């Protein structure tokens, strides 16, 4: 029995490493796209607030799609769903490359957003199903480290492309990288290792059912806190960089630097959280980020602001992989098939909270008040961390 157990552990960890390679390539495509997206929209609409409202619309579409996809996720092979999602993601990138009309850009960006919802959910369940329970936080740390490694390379590569070519070429390169991801995934021949479960096609019932549990609501909110912060980094800071008179290349340099603390710390921090528990680490991280955002409100020098925001990534290195691990740890049985899709709307709800409140603020007040908004959000999530269960994975 011991030998069989060890064989399974080695096989599963091997699967996680394969999944890490896959998400690295997919994330590189996304990093290229994400680096120039806000600036690209700004060049089309010439208004920072409008950029925020367009992205708020896209997050609403993603939110809806996660709930619509619940019966599909429960019923069908997650590996096949991932392949289908990647095909439509690649198609969306290519259509964005061909389009110059703002309405078509929004249409194709919506297609990309909805496809990404299916991609994220199916991939996340593949990670969970290939992870031993005691090593889930560690494996999540590995996956997020590979994702963020792509966000180190991607912004620098995007800066080079912008310098030498048109920024629209980034959409074409992202499409090619997504096709490569699809081919590599086919090569690894992943299967749906846990099978299917009974599905429920009632979207409204699924929505209400998810939020009936206090523990799920808390885990959901803390996950949304992470993406609330990233909406500042990936949407509004690029606009601030441009408004400060810096060239577009500085966006890539900044996003490269922001990802460095993540790839250094996410694996070791995930191991610590697995041994020490979630609650205290969530509290420390959120208050740390809240204080940095508050300091940015009082700072006027752009380079100092960028350095402070890079420092904030040390807090995000604890939060990013472990909010998802915490959510999986509070679920029972096959609940992950039913509830992981809705949980992934944290990406969109968090972004929506950050973008819509900041977009409204920018209609009336100077940019520095955006930092005050984000500081307030982070302090709220710090207070919410007191309500978490103090789960310690190593004791399971």
The DSSP code sequence of 323-369 is HHHHHHHH--TTHHHHHHHHHTTHHHHHHHHHHHHHHHHHHHS-THH
Name the band, by pLDDT with cuts 50, 70 and 90, for residue 151: confident
Of 30-44, 150-164, 364-378, give the lowest mean pLDDT range.
Answer: 150-164
Per the rule left: phi > 0, alpha: psi between -120 and 50, beta: everything else, 333 is left
Instruction: State the CATH number of the domain containing residue 304.
Output: 1.20.1250.20
Q: What is the DSSP letter of 99?
A: -
Percent of the chain with pLDDT over 90: 20
Q: Is position 280 within any domain?
A: yes
> Please, what is the average pLDDT of the chain?
80
Residue 143 lies in a domain: yes
- Which range of residues forms the domain containing residue 101? 2-190+203-390
Give start and end residues of each alpha helix (H) in the chain.
2-45, 48-68, 70-75, 78-98, 102-129, 136-164, 169-188, 203-210, 214-231, 237-243, 249-276, 279-298, 302-330, 335-343, 346-364, 368-384
Instruction: With H, G, I as helix, E, B as strand and everything else as coil, classify residue 211.
Output: coil
Q: Looking at 292-301, 315-324, 378-387, which range is the least confident one?
A: 315-324
Q: Are 180 and 150 in contact (CB under 8 A)?
A: no
Q: Look at residue 168 and tell me if it is in a domain.
A: yes
Q: Read off the pLDDT of residues 317-362 as tens digits, 9 standing for 90 and up.
A: 888 777 877 787 777 666 666 667 677 778 778 888 888 888 888 8
Nearest Cα neighbor of 156 from 250, 56, 240 is 250
Please classify residue 110 by burial: count the beta carbons closer than 10 Å to its beta carbon, then call 0-12 exposed, 13-18 middle and 19+ buried.
Answer: middle
Is residue 57 predicted with pLDDT exceeding 60? yes
Residue 111 pLDDT level (bands cut at 50, 70, 90) = very high
Q: What is the pTM of this model?
A: 0.68
First-to-last alpha carbon distance for the chain, in angstroms, is 19
| DSSP code string of 226-287 | HHHHHHIIIIIHHHHHHHTT--THHHHHHHHHHHHHHHHHHHHHHHHHHHH-SHHHHHHHHH
Examine residue 396 and state whether it is found in any structural domain, yes or no: no
Most confident of 233-237, 261-265, 343-347: 233-237
User: Do the domain assignments include residue 158?
Assistant: yes
Residue 212: its H or E element: none
The total domain count for the chain is 1
Interval 18-48: pLDDT, tens: 888 898 999 899 888 887 887 788 888 877 7
- Whether residue 197 lies inside any domain: the answer is no
282 versus 341: the higher-pLDDT residue is 282
Q: How far apart are CA 205 and CA 202, in angstroms?
A: 5
Is the pLDDT score of 5 beyond 80? Answer: no
* Rounded Cα distance, 65 and 284, in Å: 33
Q: pLDDT-derived band of residue 12, with 50, 70 and 90 as boundaries?
A: very low
Joined together, the tokens standing for residue 182 give: 């699809």
Residue 252 domain-assigned?
yes
Residue 198 domain-assigned (yes or no): no
């Amino acid at each position: 029995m011991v030998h069989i157990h060890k064989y399974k552990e080695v096989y599963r960890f091997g699967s996680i490493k394969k999944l890490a390679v896959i998400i690295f390539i997919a994330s590189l495509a996304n990093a290229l796209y994400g680096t120039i997206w806000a600036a690209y929209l700004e060049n089309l609409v010439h208004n920072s607030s409008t950029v925020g409202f367009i992205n708020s619309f896209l997050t609403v579409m993603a939110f809806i799609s996660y709930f619509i996809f619940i019966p599909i996720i429960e019923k069908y092979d997650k590996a096949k769903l991932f392949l289908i999602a990647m095909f439509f993601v690649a198609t969306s990138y290519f259509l964005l490359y061909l389009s110059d009309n703002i309405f078509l850009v929004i249409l194709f960006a919506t297609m990309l957003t909805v496809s990404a919802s299916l991609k994220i959910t199916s991939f996340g369940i593949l990670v969970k199903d290939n992870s031993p329970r005691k090593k889930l936080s560690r494996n999540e740390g590995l996956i997020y480290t590979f994702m963020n490694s792509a966000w180190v390379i991607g912004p620098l590569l995007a800066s080079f492309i912008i310098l030498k070519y048109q920024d629209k070429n980034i959409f074409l390169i992202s499409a090619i990288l997504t096709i490569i991801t699809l081919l590599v995934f086919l090569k690894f021949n992943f299967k749906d290792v846990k099978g299917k479960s009974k599905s429920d096609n009632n979207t409204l019932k699924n929505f209400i059912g998810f939020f009936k549990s206090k523990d799920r609501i808390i885990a959901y909110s803390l996950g949304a806190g992470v993406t609330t912060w990233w909406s500042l980094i990936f949407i509004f800071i690029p606009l601030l960089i441009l408004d400060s008179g810096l060239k577009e290349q500085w966006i890539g340099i900044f996003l490269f630097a922001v990802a460095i603390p993540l790839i250094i710390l996410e694996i070791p921090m995930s191991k610590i959280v697995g041994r020490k528990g979630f609650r205290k680490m969530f509290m420390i991280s959120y208050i740390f980020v809240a204080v940095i955002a508050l300091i940015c409100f009082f700072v006027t020098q752009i380079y100092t602001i960028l350095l402070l925001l890079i420092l904030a990534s040390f807090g995000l290195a604890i939060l990013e992989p472990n909010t998802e691990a915490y959510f999986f740890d509070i679920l029972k049985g096959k609940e992950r098939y039913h509830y992981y899709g809705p949980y992934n709307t944290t990406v969109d709800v968090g972004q929506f909270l950050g973008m819509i409140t900041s977009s409204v603020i920018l209609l009336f007040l100077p940019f520095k008040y955006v930092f005050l908004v984000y500081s307030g959000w982070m302090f709220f999530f710090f207070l919410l961390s007191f309500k978490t269960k103090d789960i310690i994975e190593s004791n399971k």
